[in-house]
Amino acid sequence: MNPLADRALRDKSVDTLSEAEAEAELAALAAEIAHHDRLYYQEDSPAISDADYDALRRRNAAIEERFPALIRADSPSKKVGAAPAEGFAKVRHRRPMLSLANAFDEADLREFVAGIRRFLKELRDDPDQPLEVVAEPKIDGLSVSLRYEDGRLVQGATRGDGTTGEDVTANLRNVGDVPKAVKGVPAVLEVRGEVYMTRSDFAAFNDRQRAEGLKVFANPRNAAAGSLRQLDPRITAMRPLRFFAYSWGELSEPVAATHYEFLGRLQDWGFPVNPLLARCRDVGGMIAFQREIAGKRPSLGYDIDGIVFKVDRIDWQERLGAVSRAPRWAIALKFPPEQAETRLNRIRIQVGRTGALTPVAELEAVTVGGVVVSRATLHNEDEIVRKDVREGDTVVVQRAGDVIPQVVRVVQDKRPDSAQPFRFPDHCPECGSLAVREEGEAVRRCTGGLICPAQAVERIRHFVSRDAFDIEGLGERHVAAFWQDGLIRSPADLFRLAAHAEALRSREGWGAKSVDNLLAAIEVRQSIALDRFIYALGIRQVGQATARLLARVYGTYDNWRQAMIAAADEQSDAYRELTNIDGIGPAVAADIARFFAEPHNREVLDDLGHLLEITPYEAPAARDSPIAGKTVVFTGTLESMTRSEAKARAEALGAKVAGSVSRKTDLLVVGADAGSKAAKAAELGVTTITEAEWRDLVSSG
């Protein structure tokens, strides 16, 4: 179209356009918008401002509204969504988005079922009472939560860390499978499910990307994740994303008594639900379903990485609750890992955050289950001896889900004559310090402590990792480089980086914007929750669950710190209190004490204490409970629930559960045949209640 005529037309009010003019202008707009899309997305060089671009789209929409019959097949309004966003806002999930514990074989499934039967009293006491489980494929995509208010899609979020995700509402609106409005649903309905890409869509999409010189993805899952997390929803709109619904978040009213029924409701409301599902009555049925699906796996058209089993009764699900981040009522049975053969070029020794020397196989790159693998773990010294792995060998490697690929075995008849047995070093390859292996330990460790760069760098890397301080934009490479240059020698230095802003900006690969983003990300984390803080310290054996436990028991940073220093003395009350926490034994206590005994660690802690605001632990969803913050002890046999269920319930309501009665006990719950604890409680004046009173107390909470 002639640009002059085009401009003249564009000045005309939409109301006065003739049909012929409208048709001509829609054609011109389609071409023009497509041209700007290309410049913007693919060449990263937009020729017009966002405002001008939006004006084009608005005009297109206005003409289409007046002449709906003229809407073109390639209309920009069909392909694209809202305007580019600045970044993603954070969304706090009303109910956490949990992950799943894994099972790898039939024995794991048996243990899963047996554990549930032990937990729920009516199942424990009556082996004939059936436990029905729904089985469904585990879709290999990424999970999202869709929030509907009065039937309208108002928010869509990624899982994020399970507590807080990213607001990708505009992007999810552009996923065809996601209903934008639904009828007959509760006023508040949160539907959770998996966004994925089919294999054929993925192949075609990657071909297009390759042809245009754009990023090619390793597998459909990565492509789906990359597509959903686009800052510009118009890009998402052009990617072939799909959705399966399988779970819920907040609901203003219950919608079903069983999971199976819930999936039926979802389907009635118009959500896509995976048709391959079954109700199983026992482990035999579960295994049979897994075999059936494993057989169909190659022809499904999309990737699945296992089968998810969920307790069907929702009231049971609620009672079973969750441990750490996974529900007790569900489990994922993973398919056996995929394997491939390749050459092992070299064995490299990596030094971990705790000084452990880990052998890593450097491989000739090979594709395993859709992913290119060039490194695999060899675990430890003994493993190399046991498998007799040598440099130059041909080996079988396997990959299961997101875990690090492993070397399974050596293909003996392909061994070159020159291959020599591997000699494990007795000195740290990073700092040259002696590396020792203690009696009964599988691991050899560097003794260099904080003079060893690998340990310092690893500690900082752990410190900033997602479940710890979660500082975006500070990858492993950056940490190592900053350490090398003396910018960050301890975690506390992170919070002094702002003083080096100029120096940072002049570093290779760092622009003003990326430095500003990094400093902003660090500043946000200057206030941190106690449990994350404890986890971030990287104390041996103190993972996320233990960190959370400690935070819950000690409440504030000062409390915790003082108690841990005092607990170094095994005769102290502090030590007794620490080891009395259910889940913390003498071995963990010893590692914590060792951490605090090291003067350097205490210096770092003091330094951090001054720089940070460490916020007290806030028990989730337990603020109003009558037992929040209380220490509860159970004794005797409980009639209506198992000890595990009672303990889980108490913890969910914000209480701490201790194993024995002391002056710190707030409440003793006495079941049948209680022994010495009741007497001790009476002596100390601790409040004692019966099981029935306990039930009233927690059901009102």
Residues acting as catalytic residues = 138
Write down the least CB distance from residue 378 to ligand IVH, Å: 27
- What residues contact residue 224 under an 8 Å CB cut-off, 6+ apart? 141, 142, 195, 196, 197, 239, 241
Comparing CB distances to ligand IVH, the nearer of 308 and 578 is 308
Residue nearest to ligand IVH (CB): 143
- Residue 135 corresponds to which tokens in the numbers above? 């089985």
Indicate the SS3 state at residue 257. Answer: coil
Total residue length of the chain: 701
Comparing CB distances to ligand IVH, the nearer of 100 and 389 is 100
Write down the least CB distance from residue 268 to ligand IVH, Å: 19
Comparing CB distances to ligand IVH, the nearer of 246 and 554 is 246
DSSP for 588-633, please give it: HHHHHHHHHHSHHHHHHHHHHHHH-EEEPP--TT-TT-TTTT-EEE
Considering all CA atoms of the chain, what is the largest pairwise distance in Å, rounded to the nearest integer? 97
Instruction: Choose among 113, 89, 147: nearest CA to 281.
Output: 113
Comparing CB distances to ligand IVH, the nearer of 162 and 629 is 162
- Residue 468 corresponds to which tokens in the numbers above? 């710890």
DSSP for 636-660, please give it: SB-SSS-HHHHHHHHHHTT-EEESS
C-beta separation of 140 from 221 below 8 A: yes
Comparing CB distances to ligand IVH, the nearer of 192 and 552 is 192
Write down the least CB distance from residue 529 to ligand IVH, Å: 22
Comparing CB distances to ligand IVH, the nearer of 85 and 322 is 322
At position 504, the amino acid (one-letter code) is L
The strand pairing partners of 529, in sequence order, are: 615
Comparing CB distances to ligand IVH, the nearer of 334 and 444 is 334
Residue 335, phi then psi, degrees to nearest 5: -70, 155
Write down the least CB distance from residue 332 to ligand IVH, Å: 6
Question: Which residues contribute to the site for ligand IVH (CB under 6 A)?
Answer: 98-100, 136, 138-139, 143, 159, 194, 246-247, 308, 327, 330, 332
Q: What is the dihedral of CA 384, 388, 394, 395, to 10 degrees?
A: -50
- Taking each continuous run of H as one helix and of E as one strand, the counts in the chain are 27, 26
Write down the least CB distance from residue 241 to ligand IVH, Å: 14
Please compute Rg for the chain using Cα positions: 29
Comparing CB distances to ligand IVH, the nearer of 309 and 557 is 309
Angle separating helix axes 220-228 and 199-211, nearest 10 degrees: 70
Write down the least CB distance from residue 430 to ligand IVH, Å: 34
Pairing mode, if any, of strands 133-139 and 357-368?
A: unpaired
Q: What is the dihedral of CA 291, 296, 297, 301, to 10 degrees?
A: -160
